[in-house]
Amino acid sequence: MNADDPVIPVDPQDPAPRRRRNQQDGARGGKPFKFGQKGDVREVAVNVPPDEPPPWQFGDTHAVVGQRTPRVDAVAKVTGKARYAYDMNLPGMVWAAFVRCPHARAKVTAVDYAEALKIPGVLVAKDYGSKEIRYALQHFGIVAAETHAACLEAVRAVKATFEVLPHAARMDQALAPDAPRVHAERPNKTGDDFRPEAVAAFEKAAQGCDAVVSGIATTEVQTHMCLEPHGVTARFEAPDRATVWASTQATFGARGEVARVLKVPEANVTVIAHYMGGGFGSKFSLGVAGAAACTLSKELGRPVKLMLERRAEHAQGGNRPSSVQEMSLGVKKDGTLAAYKVSKTGTGGIGGGAGAANPMIYDFGEVAEADFEVATNAGAAAAMRAPRHPQGSFALETIMNLAAEAIGMDPLELRRKNDKHPIRARQYVEGAKRFGWDKRTPSGSGKGPIKKGMGVASSLWYALGGRGAQVLCRIRKDGSVEIRNGAQDIGVGTKTILAMVAAEELGIPLSRVTPFLGDTNDPIGPASGGSTTAPTIMPAARTAAFMAGRSLREIVAKAWNCGADDLALGGGKVLHLKDGSKSMTFEKACALMPGDEIAELGKRTGNYAAYEGQTGGVHFAEVEVDTEDGTISVTRYLALQDAGTILNPLTAESQVNGAIVQGVSYALFEERILDRQLGQQVNADMEMYKIAGPKDMPRAEVILTEVVNGANNVGVAGLGEGPSVPVAAAIAGAVHNALGFPVWSLPMTPDRVLAAIAAKEKGK
């Protein structure tokens, strides 16, 4: 710790963390620990629960943690040995597929499966699911066959007739006065209108403002498009057991669903997800494919594989809802934000969950908010990386830029002035310097047809994990170590940091530790949602390793006739803290074990009073806009991102890189296009549903802001959501700076850019 880092005693009147669920109820009698970041270190009292090691503090150094470490399963992934649910080939396995309706709203009136059943190898062709069709590509039947090819042939041989009904596939259609109802029991548009007193307060505050800026931002539906589709390979094992290889973000949630579907005890079900090919929020449940495969496996007495086909993955695999956000923001000349009004409307298809996180981050003064949701005849939305946030951030940061322009203030200054988060406060300054923000030119001042611009946007996330994980640490007599949890690594590197935390605590090299994830026969772990996986599992892992190491120290203490507390683990050795002449290698210590192994279960306890309950980030983007053809290139990008204790900078940076790439994609390309007449998605594939490719990449830099948040004994925060929040907004800000006015619609495709330019010229 540097001498210039002041230690600020914690103020009992000002509990910094805003999120109190899961937290210790104060820490009377607790020991003080140093948490925080460079330039702002605070002493926080913590009652360290029994069996837990003291939390890592600001200034602690680590041997394994913090090293750039290739992921432990990297070789399996680059050699093709990693086996996913889609890759399971089991003896006697049957393939299954759904039969789908092409119409957006219809009744299935008759189905003839006779021809399908005549195809060699076809075992099942029958009704499955509702006959009331509410979105295009909803299934109503299922087939199963000996081969994938026979399965698809059978799907095509099914003859069905439909009563086609008028649909409301698109939001404008669902809002029309004579629109058919998507859900019979309620109107298409539901939600919460403005509270009159909030509007009155907004209006009063707006009168005292020097400028009130307004605008309507729109975003389109994007689909998750996971490369491995939703699905499972399921094996019912008569009379009452099952093993399911699932492409899932929630092994334990899936286990419960399998048990319910098959009516067997949960303890008899094993769900395996050693590898999974992308989820992004869309794979929390067993899903229609999983449930159907389990059911069929029980009926046929054979293993069944059912993975959604690509076009169905778009329709049925989930999506991020669209949004229309109508905003007014009042600002004073000195940059004080005083009044904000926002009405949000969006569609999540036949599912819910539309809505945009807006406002957030900045202090807006009086806020009036309305939030509506429109049901449409389209596939149901699902959580998608930072649900509600990228769309909210895009709208919010766009109106912020407009407000800055109205009072002649630098947009970065306006943000700094209205954002009190201590981590972002530092990131604004560091980022501006690093990115060369001082070289930003006035909006719209470029002369040629290709215009350059810079933008900035802010990130936050709320979760520092909580109760809900247990981790088993096993030290064997031969000196090898296992660390086990049953949750999944969805591709972010969880397995690697699990091993790193254990190696750190036991003072041994990483190569000595084998981590296990993705099998529900191991101890309980969380679903990978809300960026909680790492902060929920890792403290339990550290506790488990601490307890196992303590047991080992006790064994050695007996041999040396001293106390276990006189001994420490480090550098691959057991060390005597008081007698420097005494030391023993980790292996020799393990050989002293009376039995074959030490096994300890570490439990995740509630969070401590953290330095900050929310994580922070600030992102900068630079673009070139071609005003002749409307194309946008993101040329440079800088993300400053806090993720608490950085366990593995290599994989942590990868996650932020991923958020940047997905954000570029959301900002510039992604759009589910539904045909107005048919209500079908016309780009339900991977050619016309355009996502960012290798040629669309900016030069990107990631700076991980080191923050020891002290929320638990490890202090790691997740990186799934935070860096995903502001990317499109930062790019939109850069486009605004380039053009001199905002493009209000995502994705900022050439047609939208050219339309914005044309509208501006017409208005002149």
Partner 1 sequence: MGGHAEEGKGSVSRRGFLKSAGVAAAATSLIDDAKKAMEPVGPAPAAAVRGETEIRFKLNGKETVAKVPPSMTLLELLRERLDMTGTKQVCDRGACGACTVHLDGRTVNSCLLLAMDATGRDVTTVEGLAVGDRLHPVQQGFVEEDAMQCGFCTPGMVMSCAALLAKNPAPTRAECAEGISGNICRCGTYLNIFRAMDRASALAKGGK
Residues 391-450 that bind partner 1 (CB under 8 A): none
Site for partner 1 in 687-706 (CB under 8 A): 687-688, 691-695, 697, 700
The stretch near partner 1 (CB under 8 A) out of 152-160, 320-328, 330-338, 421-429 is: 152-160
The stretch near partner 1 (CB under 8 A) out of 364-372, 417-425, 457-465, 648-656 is: 648-656
Structure token digits, residue 121? 């190898």
Separation between Cα atoms, residue 356 and residue 364, nearest integer Å: 16
Structure token digits, residue 734? 């850069």
Site for partner 1 in 161-220 (CB under 8 A): 161-162
Site for partner 1 in 288-317 (CB under 8 A): 309-311
Residue 602 three-state SS: strand
CA atoms within 13 A on the CB side of 726: 28
Site for partner 1 in 9-38 (CB under 8 A): none
Of 318, 287, 300, the closest CA to residue 143 belongs to 300
The stretch near partner 1 (CB under 8 A) out of 183-191, 269-277, 566-574, 613-621 is: 269-277
Structure token digits, residue 600? 């300890």
Of 68, 416, 93, the closest CA to residue 234 belongs to 93
Instruction: Specify the residue, 33 or 666, whose C-beta has the smaller distance to partner 1.
Output: 666
Is 645 a binder of partner 1 (CB under 8 A)? no
What does 34-66 look like in DSSP terms, one character per residue?
A: EEEETTEEEEEEE-PPTTPPPPP-TT---SSTT
Q: Minimum CB separation from partner 1 for residue 87, in Å? A: 4
The alpha-helical segments, DSSP class H, found in 561-633 are: 586-591
Q: Minimum CB separation from partner 1 for residue 292, in Å? A: 16
Separation between Cα atoms, residue 512 and residue 730, nearest integer Å: 43
Q: Which of 44, 136, 271, 729 binds partner 1 (CB under 8 A)?
A: 136
| 141 neighbors 103 (Cβ within 8 angstroms) | no
Structure token digits, residue 585? 């290698």
| 745 neighbors 666 (Cβ within 8 angstroms) | no
Q: Minimum CB separation from partner 1 for residue 552, in Å? A: 32
Is 624 a binder of partner 1 (CB under 8 A)? no
Structure token digits, residue 751? 């047609």
Q: Minimum CB separation from partner 1 for residue 28, in Å? A: 44
Give, rounded to a whole angstrom, the gap between the first and last alpha carbons of the chain.
58
Instruction: Specify the residue, 303 or 411, whose C-beta has the smaller distance to partner 1.
Output: 303
Residue window 98-117: x/- pattern of binding to partner 1, with contact defined by CB under 8 A: -xxxx------------xx-
CA 687 from centroid of its chain's CA atoms? 25
Q: Which of 12, 29, 50, 120 binds partner 1 (CB under 8 A)?
A: 120
Q: Minimum CB separation from partner 1 for residue 144, in Å? A: 15
DSSP label of 583: E
Q: Minimum CB separation from partner 1 for residue 687, in Å? A: 5
Is 623 a binder of partner 1 (CB under 8 A)? no
Site for partner 1 in 221-240 (CB under 8 A): 225-228
The total of other beta-carbon atoms located within 10 Å of residue 448's CB is 9
Q: Which of 212, 356, 618, 659 binds partner 1 (CB under 8 A)?
A: 659
Of 462, 535, 528, the closest CA to residue 278 belongs to 528
Of 274, 291, 271, 169, the closest CA to residue 230 belongs to 291
Is 683 a binder of partner 1 (CB under 8 A)? yes
Q: Minimum CB separation from partner 1 for residue 582, in Å? A: 39
Q: Minimum CB separation from partner 1 for residue 702, in Å? A: 9
The stretch near partner 1 (CB under 8 A) out of 447-455, 623-631, 679-687, 746-754 is: 679-687
| 10 neighbors 43 (Cβ within 8 angstroms) | yes
Q: Minimum CB separation from partner 1 for residue 720, in Å? A: 11
Taking the alpha carbons of 341, 345, 346, 349 in that order, is the dihedral positive or negative?
A: positive
Site for partner 1 in 526-565 (CB under 8 A): none
Residue 197 three-state SS: helix
Beta strands in 565-631 (DSSP E): 567-570, 573-576, 583-585, 597-603, 615-626
Q: Minimum CB separation from partner 1 for residue 682, in Å? A: 5
Is 82 a binder of partner 1 (CB under 8 A)? yes
Q: Minimum CB separation from partner 1 for residue 62, in Å? A: 19
| 504 neighbors 690 (Cβ within 8 angstroms) | no
Instruction: Specify the residue, 5 or 87, whose C-beta has the smaller distance to partner 1.
Output: 87
DSSP label of 18: S
Separation between Cα atoms, residue 147 and residue 120, nearest integer Å: 10
Is 721 a binder of partner 1 (CB under 8 A)? no
Q: Which of 128, 245, 252, 275 binds partner 1 (CB under 8 A)?
A: 275
Residue window 463-502: x/- pattern of binding to partner 1, with contact defined by CB under 8 A: ---------------------------xxxx---------
Instruction: Specify the residue, 2 or 79, whose C-beta has the smaller distance to partner 1.
Output: 79
Q: Which of 47, 480, 583, 657 binds partner 1 (CB under 8 A)?
A: 657
Structure token digits, residue 620? 């900068």
Query: Exposure string (b/e) for 287-318, b if CB count within 10 Å is 16 or more?
Result: bbbbbbbbbbbbebebbbbbbbbebbbbbbbb
Instruction: Specify the residue, 317 or 321, whose C-beta has the smaller distance to partner 1.
Output: 317
What does 397-427 look like in DSSP terms, one character per residue?
A: HHHHHHHHHHTT--HHHHHHHT---HHHHHH
Phi, psi values for residue 97, rounded to 5°: -150, 155
Percent helix / strand / coil, the chain, rounded to 5: 30, 25, 45
Separation between Cα atoms, residue 74 and residue 72, nearest integer Å: 6
The stretch near partner 1 (CB under 8 A) out of 142-150, 176-184, 476-484, 555-563 is: 142-150
Q: Minimum CB separation from partner 1 for residue 77, in Å? A: 4
**Burial degree of 140 (CB within 10 A; 0-12, 13-18, 19+):** buried
Instruction: Specify the residue, 199 or 650, whose C-beta has the smaller distance to partner 1.
Output: 650
Instruction: Specify the residue, 156 or 183, whose C-beta has the smaller distance to partner 1.
Output: 156
Q: How many residues bind partner 1 (CB under 8 A)?
A: 86
Is 128 a binder of partner 1 (CB under 8 A)? no
**Burial degree of 363 (CB within 10 A; 0-12, 13-18, 19+):** middle
Is 350 a binder of partner 1 (CB under 8 A)? no
Is 661 a binder of partner 1 (CB under 8 A)? yes
Instruction: Specify the residue, 35 or 689, whose C-beta has the smaller distance to partner 1.
Output: 689
Is 80 a binder of partner 1 (CB under 8 A)? yes
Q: Which of 48, 74, 211, 425 binds partner 1 (CB under 8 A)?
A: 74
Going by their DSSP bridges, the two strands 337-346 and 323-331 should be labelled as: antiparallel
The stretch near partner 1 (CB under 8 A) out of 82-90, 125-133, 394-402, 448-456 is: 82-90
Q: Which of 678, 740, 755, 760 binds partner 1 (CB under 8 A)?
A: 678
Is 763 a binder of partner 1 (CB under 8 A)? no
Is 155 a binder of partner 1 (CB under 8 A)? yes
Is 153 a binder of partner 1 (CB under 8 A)? yes
Instruction: Specify the residue, 377 or 655, whose C-beta has the smaller distance to partner 1.
Output: 655
